[in-house]
Amino acid sequence: MTAAATPERAGELLRLLGDPAQVVAELKQVRQSAEILSSDQPRLIDEHPQKWVALHAGTVIAEGDTLAELLATVDATNPESRSHILVRFIDRHQQTLIL
C-alpha cells in the first residue's frame, strides 16, 4: 500500500472534503451553472448585458456593475453561497483571441 492509499490518508481526505454525497451534489450544481454559461450565453447577454453575474445551481442569483458590487450582493443575500458560485462578466462585445 502506498503512502497516498493508507487508511489514515483516506480518513484525512474525507475530513478535508466532507461527505462524498455532498461533494457530488455540489459538483452537479457547478456543472449546471457552467452549462448555462456555455450553452445559454445569448439569453444571458440579453438579460444581463455588460454586468457581472453570479450563478448557483444553474440560476443567476445576483448581478452587479462591478465585481465588488456583485460580491457584496451575494454576501448580503447568502454569504454561505460565495464558495459555490460561478462568476462571469457578460460582455456583449466579447472578443475571441486565437493564440
61 Cβ contact partners less than 8 Å away, ≥ 6 residues apart: 54, 55, 74, 77, 78, 81, 85
Average pLDDT over residues 8-34: 80
pLDDT, mean over the chain: 81
Residue 97 has pLDDT above 70, yes or no: no
For the chain, the distance separating the N- and C-terminal CA atoms, rounded to the nearest angstrom, is 44
CA nearest to 30, candidates 94, 81, 90, 91 = 81
pTM above 0.75, yes or no: no
Best-predicted range by mean pLDDT among 11-20, 32-41, 67-76, 87-96?
67-76
Average pLDDT over residues 6-24: 81
Burial grade of 20 (CB within 10 A; 0-12, 13-18, 19 or more):
exposed
Could you tell me which residue, 33 or 53, shows the higher pLDDT? 53
